[in-house]
Structure 1
Amino acid sequence: MNHLKKCLASLALSLGLAVSSAAAQEAQKIKMGVMQWETIAMTSSVTEHLLERHGFEVEEVEFQEWGVAFAALGKGDVDVLISHPDYAAADYWERNARKLEKLSVASYGYNAGLIVPSYVTINSIDELNEHKEKFRGRIIGVEPGSGMMRQSENVVNEYGLEYEIIEGSGPVAVAELKSALDRGEWIVSMYWTPSWVFQEFDIKFLKDPKGVQEPTETYVWLAHKGFAVQNPKAREVIASVFVPESALTQMTGWVKEGASIDEAVARWEKANANRLDRQAMIGNQ
């Protein structure tokens, strides 16, 4: 019995030393992958600033494509990044899941779908064919090959819509929308939230009774496998950050007015200093 007690005590001491050693060896430099979407860059920036307040050095690595970003995360070339692993980036998540882990929710409210002015009297995609003439049989699109264009093509096929999707870009879609609103015309286009567009214009999403479009999505902090155990304080700080959809909409509005992303984030952080100070207390207890 005494021998068993000694073994257990020795094991507990070993485990305690191992945990203390791991905590002591936590990396003070975090490589943060940042996909170059406005809202992701903003949420990443807020988290970066909080990590820096806790003494971490953060190096940003910019990405333009999800495939490249996920590959880098899986290889450990970056430590963390924000993505939408449950739908928009589900394919990339599934391909790399064994090398990755989910840390925490960073924000919620990403939506993408067909939009119309609020004065348009229909509310659902399945009503579009009845009013083809008023919409001139066109859906104003964005960049060719984008996920939103593919989603809209699926919508056209699933609902049997007698419409042509017009390729363009985000700015072109907004210009067409503004022109139609100014003239009180009917227009159907595609866009996403969070975005200043919904703050600037009186528009609405069309309902999707068949569920063809992506559901409302969550922004999730992802990391390479083992990051949370190896970096408990960094993980705790990251998990303390949540940037609401309303904040992202407000910041994208400031960018539209001419502010840089860094300036918009700084303005929002100044206005929410008390909230951020409370978040900064995480990990200092």
Structure 2
Amino acid sequence: MKTRTLNHRIRLASLALVAGTGLTAGSMAHAQDQGTVNLAYVEWSSEVASTNVIAAVLEQAGFEVELTSLSAAAMFQALSTGDADAIVAAWLPTTHADYMERVGDNTEDLGVNLDGTKLGLVVPEYTNVDSIADLNDNADSFNGEIIGIDPGAGLMALTEEVVDTYDLGLNLRSGSGATMTAALASAIQNEEDVVVTGWTPHWMFARFDLKYLEDPENVYGGAEQIHTVVRSGLEEDMPEAYAILDAFEWTPEQMGEVMLMNQEDGSDPYENAKQWVEENQDVVEQWLNG
């Protein structure tokens, strides 16, 4: 796929991971015939966390897992064509609604894997602006721009609608999740005003004192949920993987633990996911027995 930015195969988990799960060496040998599950995701800190965790859990059940990082549009396209088996990264009912409408006939929505999300424009707590409607009057304080993320993200499309609805004179600058948080951190270090596209759950809310700007026109909508979506036919092809994906559900607090681990210098998201899985076997067993 031309849109593919990262494609790496995660091998079967070590026996150290298996030791605490009740899987024996014999069952692991049998499990190697389980096949490969292809997971697609977007490079958002929340989706990096959840995708690596479910990958580690699927490995624990004996599957090989292939992860592919894509833009939001390419992620849903890969799912609809069968190039990807599943995603745990569908923000609904608003952010990814258009994508789901396009691929709905070739996919199956397994429901919510995380409840309690939010989208909007975010500023430091010290900023003397509380509403999107007041941004124009303070545009100079924000250098006339809103710091966004990757241009294909549903959040960016919604923010473009916000700019139109509120007739904002600020330019929406695209980039990535990393460039957005870097700009946020730099501004806070210098006690400057900055406005960024934000979402919950995200590690930046644990690290910085932030607030969402009020959205009186309700363009961003209310709280969202993150759904697991699989390609049509996965239940018949890989019933055990399907059952695990169907049972996968966790909390913003649990996701936040993994996201914060991923922010440590030199840390590896997959190794962090394996560590979290090892330390939370009571939760993982519920997914494995789903």
Contact 1:43 1:106 in 2 (8 A): no
The correspondence for 1:196, drawn from 203, 213, 220, is 203
Which residue does 2:260 correspond to in 1? 253
Q: Give the distance between the partners of 2:179 and 2:132, measured in 1 at CA.
A: 22
- In structure 1, what is the equivalent of residue 34 of structure 2? 28
Deviation at 1:153, TM superposition (A): 2.6
Q: With the length of structure 2 as denominator, give the TM-score of the two structures.
A: 0.74
- TM-score normalized by the length of structure 1: 0.75
Amino acid at match of 2:39: G
Alpha-carbon distance in structure 2 between the residues aligned to 1:227 and 1:100: 9
Deviation at 1:67, TM superposition (A): 3.8
1:60 to 63, 66, 72: 66
| Structure 2: distance between partners of 1:79 and 1:169 | 25
Distance 1:89 1:45, change over 3 A: same
Tell me, yes or no, if the aligned pair for 2:41 and 2:51 is still in contact at 8 Å: no
Instruction: Give the secondary-structure state (helix, strand or coil) at the position aligned to 1:249.
Output: helix
Among residues 259, 267, 273, which one is paired with 2:275 in the alignment? 267
Shift of 1:61: 4.3
Larger Rg: 1
Alignment match of 2:147 (pick from 129, 135, 140): 140
| CA separation of 1:120 and 1:98: change in aligned 2, threshold 3 A | same
1:158 corresponds to which residue? 165
Change (3 A) 1:28 1:166: closer
For structure 2, the 5+ residue unaligned runs are 1-32
Residue 129 of structure 1 corresponds to 136
- Which residue in 2 is equivalent to 1:7? none
Counterpart amino acid of residue 161 in structure 2: N
Superposition pairs for residues 71-82 of structure 1, below 5 Å?
71-82=77-88
1:241 paired residue among 239, 242, 248: 248
* CA shift in 2, pair 1:104/1:231, >3 Å: farther
The residue aligned with 2:215 is 208
Q: Work out whether 1:101 is the aligned partner of 2:122.
A: no
Deviations 1:193-248 (A, max 9, x none): 32221111111111212121254332222222243356544333222221322222
- Are the aligned partners of 2:72 and 2:152 in contact in 1 as well (CA < 8 Å)? no
Report the alpha carbon displacement of residue 124 of structure 1 after superposing the two structures with TM: 1.7
Q: Is the 8 A contact 1:35 1:64 kept in 2?
A: yes
Distance 1:246 1:128, change over 3 A: same
1:161/1:79 CA distance change after superposition, 3 Å:
closer
Is the CA contact 1:34–1:41 (under 8 Å) kept in the aligned structure 2? Answer: no
* Superimposed CA distance per residue, residues 95-146 of structure 1 (whole angstroms, 9 cap, x where no aligned partner): 2211221223222344332111112233221122343444444323344565
2:191 aligned partner, one-letter code: G
Aligned to 1:179: 186
- What do you get for the CA RMSD once the two structures are aligned? 2.9
Flag structure 1 segments of 5+ consecutive residues without an equivalent.
1-26
Give the equivalent residue in structure 2 for 1:12: none
The residue type paired with residue 65 of structure 1 is: S
**Matched letter for residue 120 of structure 2:** G
1:103–1:235 CA contact under 8 A, matched in 2: no
- Aligned partners of 1:238 and 1:86: how far apart in 2? 20
Q: Distance in 2 between matches of 1:214 and 1:82?
A: 21
1:247-279: per-residue Cα shift (whole Å, max 9, x none)? Answer: 222222222212111122123223323322344
- Give % identity: 29
Residue 17 of structure 1 corresponds to which residue in structure 2? none
> Quick check: 2:146–2:172 contact (8 Å CA) kept in 1?
yes
Task: Using the TM superposition, name which of 248-257 and 63-72 deviates more.
Answer: 63-72
